[in-house]
Amino acid sequence: MSIKFGTDGWRARIGEDYTFDNLRRCAQGFATFLQANGRSQQGIVIGHDKRFQAEYFAAAAAEVLAANGIKVWLTDGATPTPAISYSVVDKQAGGAINITASHNPFWDCGFKVRDPQGGAIPPHDLKKIEAAIPEIDGVTSMKLEDALTDGLVTMFDASLPYEAQLHRLVDVAPIKKAGFNVAVDAMWGNGAGWFPRLLANGKTQISEIHNTRNPIYPHMTRPEPIPPNVDHGLAFAKRLKADVTVINDGDADRVGFGDENGRFLNQLQVYGLMGYYFLEVLGLRGPIVKTISTTKMLNKLAKIYDVPVYETGVGFKYIAPKMMEVDAMIGGEESGGYAFKGHVPERDGILAGLYFLDMMVQTGKKPSQLLDILYEKVGPHYYDRIDSRFDAAQRPEILARVAAARPATIGGLKVTDIITIDGHQFIMEDGGWLLVRFSGTEPVIRVYCETTHEDRVQDILVDGMKIAGL
């Protein structure tokens, strides 16, 4: 079978396309790419999440890299994706392999690759890796035991340098002293235990839910920090009367939040708040990188504070290179992934959680009050999204239908422009937008919108579904 990398690596159903043989083929393709690009002598970090068999898939990848003469640092347990990415920088390695399917349903697993800066590899290099993936008879492998004995594979704890980096970026002492009641939903993933670890021995209380390993993800359809997956955790937070809820996805590179009333803050609101925090609360200045699928509130903030905004296609394979190119202050996407200057150009749901708590400390405001302040600056914005699975055979037909669409109005609002950076984005007269695009990680078509008219959101989405013919 042909293996293709989507928005963030390769993902497939365990036991069908995602097999040990195909995993080894991917690892061999990456090894060949590293050798061809002079990075093989630097070594590679390999880590994994808590999905079914993930540690064994990671070991299989290590066996292939080692057999190709490439030094491997293999994590000694499930590790947050941002910690794996930071380990690349800490070890001065040539990149990383991360065995995770992030927010996908429990039946999937994934194979992500990272560059020497710990960030996503850009599309042109992903194509080179794809082209280097051989059939199984072209794979070189060895036993892990032999690789450990020979020193080609070293087990290590990636949490220690990452924790030190977090403390360099955030002064946690005021958060500990604040006396917050914080609920944390780890979504059965790699973020479990991190906030208690970072904020221990203070007045702030941390209460976790879904903080053990359970690869079928009870109480949610998938470990993605959006409704309805967050509902059980938010109900837990409401019972606790928590001041804020921090929700990490399965590999802890994404984050969602609930306010003091147990209400979910959507991803666009959070990115707007992150922009406000850096520009107003911290007083920093620098470029903002955002995908076209996230909030125009950032464009309005950028105008107020006189900083540039760069818009990219969806995925950190676009965001990370652009962040490096323009020395961005912050980069992010609609999925709840945010990256920050002075760190790695990679989503970090744990660091984002700490920054949000620091914003609460420095402003003395609760989450709903912070949202009110943001809206005072840029006006209220309303967002929603519909995801629809489709038969792969329908893709060309849907794509052609969307590409041909030229609606005069959407949701009763005049269409003023169409942008095709990634999918088809219809700009509306209020500055809002409708985006129709295929997911790069699973057979799903996504219809998103943001508008300043709360009463038009569902009408806009209905028109978007009609454009897609769904």
We report the CATH number of the domain holding residue 442 as 3.30.310.50
pLDDT tens digits along 416-433? 999 999 999 999 999 999
pLDDT of residue 127: 94
For residue 131, being part of any structural domain is answered with yes
Residue 430's alpha-carbon distances to 208, 423, 424, 450, in angstroms, are: 41, 21, 18, 10
pLDDT of residue 394: 87
pLDDT of residue 295: 97
Statement: residue 134 has pLDDT above 90: yes
Angle subtended at Cα 92 by Cα 86 and Cα 96, rounded to the nearest 5 degrees: 55
Segments forming the whole domain that contains residue 453: 382-468
pLDDT tens digits along 427-458? 999 999 999 999 877 788 999 999 999 999 99
Length of the chain: 470
For residue 92, being part of any structural domain is answered with yes
- Residue 95's pLDDT band (cuts 50, 70, 90): very high
- Residue 470's pLDDT band (cuts 50, 70, 90): confident
Buried b (16+ CB within 10 A) or exposed e, 299-317: bbbbeebebebbbbbbbbb
417 and 405 in a common domain: yes
For residue 163, being part of any structural domain is answered with no
196 and 154 in a common domain: no
pLDDT tens digits along 167-193? 999 999 999 999 999 999 999 999 999
Statement: residue 1 has pLDDT above 90: no
CB 409 within 8 A of CB 456: no
- Residue 9's pLDDT band (cuts 50, 70, 90): confident
pLDDT of residue 328: 98
129 and 276 in a common domain: no
Last residue of a domain, one of 326, 353, 378: 378
Last residue of a domain, one of 105, 133, 158: 158
For residue 367, being part of any structural domain is answered with yes
CB 164 within 8 A of CB 170: no
For residue 295, being part of any structural domain is answered with yes
112 and 245 in a common domain: no
pLDDT of residue 442: 76
255 and 138 in a common domain: no
461 and 418 in a common domain: yes
pLDDT tens digits along 363-394? 999 999 999 999 999 999 999 999 999 888 88
Q: CATH number for the domain including 28?
A: 3.40.120.10
Work out the average pLDDT over 330-353: 96
75 and 185 in a common domain: no
CB 310 within 8 A of CB 326: yes
Residue type, 118: G
438 and 403 in a common domain: yes
pLDDT tens digits along 227-284? 999 999 999 999 999 999 999 999 999 999 999 999 999 999 999 999 999 999 999 9
pLDDT of residue 441: 73
For residue 164, being part of any structural domain is answered with no
CB 152 within 8 A of CB 43: no
For residue 3, being part of any structural domain is answered with no
192 and 53 in a common domain: no
CB 426 within 8 A of CB 444: no
Q: Which residues pair with 427 in a beta bridge?
A: 417, 433
pLDDT of residue 64: 98
**11 three-state secondary structure:** strand
**Whether this model's pTM surpasses 0.75:** yes
- Residue 345's pLDDT band (cuts 50, 70, 90): very high
If one counts the domains in the chain, the total is 3
108 and 51 in a common domain: yes
The residue among 308, 446, 427, 450 whose CA lies nearest residue 379 is 450
For residue 121, being part of any structural domain is answered with yes
Cα distance between residue 7 and residue 451, in whole Å: 26
pLDDT of residue 8: 75
pLDDT of residue 84: 98
Q: How many CB atoms sit inside 10 A of residue 231's CB?
A: 13
Q: Is 93 left (phi over 0), alpha (psi -120 to 50) or beta?
A: beta
Work out the average pLDDT over 291-313: 97
120 and 69 in a common domain: yes
pLDDT tens digits along 21-80? 999 999 999 999 999 999 999 999 999 999 999 999 999 999 999 999 999 999 999 999
The encoded tokens of residue 197 equal 């670890």
Cα distance between residue 208 and residue 187, in whole Å: 10
138 and 218 in a common domain: no
Last residue of a domain, one of 130, 158, 186: 158
Q: Which residue has the tokens 């958060």?
A: 175
Statement: residue 7 has pLDDT above 80: no
